Chains A and B, each alone.
Chain A
Amino acid sequence: EAGVAQSPRYKIIEKRQSVAFWCNPISGHATLYWYQQILGQGPKLLIQFQNNGVVDDSQLPKDRFSAERLKGVDSTLKIQPAKLEDSAVYLCASSSTEGSYGYTFGSGTRLTVV
């Protein structure tokens, strides 16, 4: 089966600019997650979707970050305006509500804010 697709792979922007990341989960996976991974740390959950509804966005900095999952498939994560401390890898993952409990992660988008 195809994996979780993310784009772009790399992005460099100046502070105060906006940026968007795209994720296409594994077909049929109802649950989608966005994580932020700062260099040297474990991934931190930002938001969790179940189909097109938000299950948990308690760790999402809502003053600058937003995410949507239209039609319960693809998802976009946006940062506006970006800060230097937003430099990180943004990982998307998906999981099925049936069978295996494993998550499948994409390769991530490495964001550098200068």
Chain B
Amino acid sequence: DAKTTQPNSMESNEEEPVHLPCNHSTISGTDYIHWYRQLPSQGPEYVIHGLTSNVNNRMASLAIAEDRKSSTLILHRATLRDAAVYYCILRGSSNTGKLIFGQGTTLQVKP
């Protein structure tokens, strides 16, 4: 399974945008880039995923580099509720592809 690299932790101020980076230099052409987050005492929660083009949904935006070797999860206005561990994961194109979690980035949001 292809590996991703994320910073261990990041801080943000409430109501400011947050850019969470992820490097995946060994990504294959069929790997999707998935982001999940895990709030305290909860299971991980799907945030967004993409293949080549940038993606937007109600939770966040995903910006994917042209060479696909890195991506950035963008939270447009951080709230205290966004404090969580954010995982960037590569998943194969098969519908039975596994999610292999790394350490993730712990995001702290300050009021």
Contact = CB atoms under 8 A, between A and B. Distances in A.
Interface of A: 4, 31, 33, 35, 41-45, 48, 50, 55-56, 91, 93, 95-98, 101-108
Nearest to B102: A42
A31 B96 CA distance: 7
Interface in B36-81: 36, 41-46, 49
Most buried by B among A41, A95, A101: A101
A98 B54 CA distance: 22
Contacts of B98: 33, 45, 48, 56
A105 B44 contact: yes
* 7 closest A-B pairs by CB: A105-B43, A42-B101, A102-B46, A97-B95, A43-B101, A91-B43, A105-B44
A101 B49 contact: yes
B103 interface: yes
A101 B32 contact: yes
B88 to A, nearest CB: 11
Interface of B: 32, 34, 36, 41-46, 49, 85, 87, 91, 95-104
30 contacts: A31-B95, A33-B98, A35-B101, A41-B103, A42-B101, A42-B103, A43-B44, A44-B101, A45-B98, A45-B99, A45-B100, A96-B95, A97-B96, A98-B95, A101-B34, A101-B49, A101-B95, A102-B46, A102-B49, A103-B36, A103-B44, A103-B99, A104-B46, A105-B43, A105-B44, A105-B45, A107-B41, A107-B42, A107-B43, A108-B43
Given A42-B85, A101-B91, A103-B36, 16 more contacts: A33-B99, A41-B103, A42-B87, A48-B98, A50-B96, A56-B98, A91-B43, A93-B44, A102-B49, A103-B99, A104-B46, A105-B45, A106-B43, A107-B41, A107-B43, A108-B42
